[in-house]
Amino acid sequence: MLAGRCLCGAVHYAVADEFAYALNCHCPDCRRATGAAFKPFAGIERHKLAITQGEDKLLIFGTKDAGDIHCERCGSLLWSVVIDGTFVHVTLGTLVDAPTIRPSAHIFVGSKAPWFTITDDLPQHQAHAGEN
Ligand SMILES: [Zn+2]
Ligand SMILES: [Zn+2]
């Protein structure tokens, strides 16, 4: 299991080191949610993530089954619930422990911030993976 937490420490979670995929998303929503050029995240079945502290300190943007989960105190984006509530996209930046997986591609490069230049050799997809 890997530990993760928000900036202020009110919310802690544990997630299995069994991510199905990891990507860097350059879509405008991910930029705004993180305040960064892109969002590195990893996907895993929802039941493999557990909140270990601060379950009552969550701020849900959207809905419980299709939303972004933040700490209500410091605002850290911890994960997003996707695919009809079955998967979560964990923000790699909130992990305390290093996962085995590494981001394998850049997605939504078609809407990348013009001021950011991708300098690695990972594949770049205009939209999501599998769709160039
Ligand atoms: Zn916090
Ligand atoms: Zn995105």
Å from CA of 24 to ligand 1 middle: 23
Quick: pLDDT tens for 117-128: 999 999 999 987
Q: Taking all residues of the chain, what is their mean pLDDT, rounded to a whole number? A: 95
Per-residue pLDDT, 129: 62
Distance CA 12, CA 129 (A): 30
For CA atoms 19, 100, 41, 60, the dihedral sign is positive
* Structural domains in the chain plus CATH codes: 2-111 (2.170.150.70)
Tell me which residues have their CB within 5 A of the ion that is ligand 1: 6, 8, 10, 71, 73-74
Å from CA of 27 to ligand 2 middle: 4
26: left (phi over 0), alpha (psi -120 to 50) or beta: alpha
Q: Is the pLDDT of residue 130 over 70?
A: no
Q: Is the pLDDT of residue 1 over 60?
A: yes
Å from CA of 31 to ligand 2 middle: 7
Q: Considering the entire predicted model, what is its pTM?
A: 0.94
